[in-house]
């Protein structure tokens, strides 16, 4: 999935106070070569600095400025709204024509760590239609049949 910048991005009130360095960092987070179709990537400080010409601490500064948009598990980071921003949709469940897109996300989703999976399932319950139920239940912390009822 290619990262997209919608016109509404430039008027997003959460992004308006960000510095130019933070905006560049945010765009790197969404477009770097290691980012998968779910919006997850492994942070490589040397590569970040080489590509953006910014010190690596801008990565943390940008995440700290937008904490609700990110989930971290070790060296793995997830830009949670990546999928909806790429598709430029507010509420994805209202669009029934996205079944093939959800199917395409099943494999990269299953490769993520449980905390990153949990963040995506909470944001996009539609993943439950293409990812096995036991995987969804595990990432939500439901371990028995009784937990799913």
Claim: this prediction has a pTM higher than 0.75: yes
Whether the pLDDT of residue 134 is over 70: the answer is no
The average pLDDT across 59-82 equals 95
Whether the pLDDT of residue 79 is over 80: the answer is yes
pLDDT of the residue at 90: 46
The average pLDDT across 68-96 equals 78
pLDDT of the residue at 140: 61
How would you write the chain as a 3-class SS string?
CCCCCCHHHHHCCCCCCCCHHHHHHHHHHHHCCCCCCCCEEECCHHHHHHHHCCCCHHHHHHHHHCHHHEEEECCEEEECCHHHHHHCCCCHHHCHHHHHHHHHHHHHHHCCCHHHHHHHHHHCHHHHHCCCHHHHHHHCCCCCHHHHC
């Amino acid at each position: 999935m290619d990262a997209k910048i919608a016109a509404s991005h430039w008027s997003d009130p959460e992004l308006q106070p960000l510095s130019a360095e933070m905006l560049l960092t945010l765009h790197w987070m969404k477009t770097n070569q290691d980012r998968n179709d779910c919006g997850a990537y492994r942070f490589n400080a040397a590569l970040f600095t080489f590509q953006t010409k910014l010190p690596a601490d801008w990565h943390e500064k940008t995440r700290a400025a937008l904490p609700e948009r990110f989930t971290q598990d070790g060296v793995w980071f997830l830009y949670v709204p990546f999928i909806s921003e790429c598709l430029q949709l507010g509420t994805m469940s209202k669009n029934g024509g996205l079944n093939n897109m959800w199917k395409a996300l099943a494999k990269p989703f299953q490769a993520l760590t449980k905390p990153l999976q949990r963040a995506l399932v909470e944001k996009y319950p539609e993943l439950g239609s293409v990812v096995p139920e036991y995987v969804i239940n595990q990432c939500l912390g439901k371990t028995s049949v009784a937990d799913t009822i």
